[in-house]
Chains A and B, each alone.
Chain A
Amino acid sequence: MKWHRLKAIAVKEVLQIWRDPRSLMIALLLPFTQMFLLGYGVNLDLKHLPVCTFDREGSQLSQALFKHFQASQYFTIARNVTSYAELTAAIDDATCGFAIVVPPDFSERLNDTGSALVQAILDASDDNTANLALGYATAVVTGYSANVQLHWLDRQGRPLQQIEPMVVQSRVWFNEDLESRNFIIPGLVAVIMALVGAQLTSLTIAREWERGTMELLVSTPVKPVELMFGKLAPYLVLGWLDAAFCLAIAALWFAVPFRGTLFTLFFTTTLFLMVVLSIGYLLSVLIRSQVGASQVALVVTMLPTVLLSGYVFPIDQMPTVVQDITYLLYSRYYVTILKAVFLKGSGIPELMTPILFLVVYAAAVMVLAARSFRKRLD
Chain B
Amino acid sequence: MFERIIAIIIKEFIELKRDKSARFRLIVPTVLQMLLFGYAATYEVYHVSTAILDLDHTQESRELLSHFTASNRFDVIEMAHSQGDIAAAIDDSDAVVALVIHAGFAELLRKGQSAPLQVIVDGTNSNTALIALGYINTIAADFAKGYATDLAQRISGAAGARRVQVVVEQRPWFNPDLNGRWFFVPGLIGTLTLVIVVNLTAFAIVREREVGTLEQIMVSPIRPVEFILGKTVPYFVIGLFQVALIVAVGTLWFQVPFAGNPLMLVLGSVLFLFSTLALGLLISTLCSTQQQAFSLNFFILNPFFILSGFSFPISSMPQVLQWLTYVNPLRYYLVVIRGTFLKGVGLSVLWPELAAMAVIAAILLATSVLRFRKSLE
Residues of A within 8 A of B (CB): 20, 22-23, 26-27, 30, 34, 37-38, 40-50, 65, 91-94, 97, 110, 114-132, 134-135, 137-138, 141, 144-145, 148-149, 152, 158, 163-176, 178-180, 182-183, 191-192, 195, 198-199, 202-203, 207, 210, 290-292, 294-299, 302-304, 306-308, 312-314, 316-319, 321-322, 325-326, 339-340, 343-344, 350
Contacts and interface: CB of A to CB of B under 8 A. Distances in A.
A20 to B, nearest CB: 8
B44 A127 contact: yes
A325 B36 contact: yes
B123 A178 contact: yes
10 contacts: A23-B295, A41-B307, A46-B316, A119-B171, A125-B174, A128-B127, A135-B134, A291-B203, A343-B124, A350-B92
Contacts of B144: 164-166
Contacts of A145: 164-166
Contact of B303 (A27, A38, A175, A298): A38
B169 A298 contact: no
Interface stretch (B2-10, B176-184, B227-235, B269-277): B176-184
B120 interface: yes
Contact of B40 (A165, A290, A307): A307
Interface centre among A97, A168, A297, A319 (most CB of B within 10 A): A168
User: Mostly helix, strand, loop or mixed at chain A's interface?
Assistant: helix
B352 to A, nearest CB: 9
A127 B177 CA distance: 9
B170 A37 contact: no
Given A120-B170, A125-B183, A166-B143, A174 B122 contact: yes
Contact of B131 (A119, A135, A307): A135
Interface of B: 21, 25, 29, 33, 36-37, 39-47, 49, 64, 90-93, 109, 112-131, 133-134, 136-137, 140, 143-145, 147-148, 151, 161-176, 178-180, 182-183, 191-192, 195, 199, 203, 207, 210, 288-292, 294-296, 298-299, 301-303, 305-307, 311-313, 315-318, 320-321, 324, 335, 338, 342-343, 345, 349
A303 B171 contact: no
Contacts of B162: 114, 152
A47 to B, nearest CB: 6
A183 B125 contact: yes
Contacts of B131: 128, 131-132, 135
A307 B37 contact: yes
B166 A118 contact: yes
A178 B137 CA distance: 16
Contacts of A195: 298-299, 302
Given A128-B127, A182-B126, A203-B294, A294 B203 contact: yes
Given A182-B126, A291-B203, A127 B179 contact: yes
A121 B171 contact: yes
B39 A322 contact: yes
A192 B203 CA distance: 22
Given A141-B167, A166-B109, A167-B114, 10 more contacts: A116-B166, A120-B171, A127-B178, A165-B151, A172-B123, A175-B124, A191-B302, A299-B29, A321-B39, A339-B124
Contacts of B176: 124
B254 to A, nearest CB: 12
A65 B291 CA distance: 59
B199 A40 contact: no
Given A65-B166, A167-B114, A171-B120, A40 B317 contact: yes
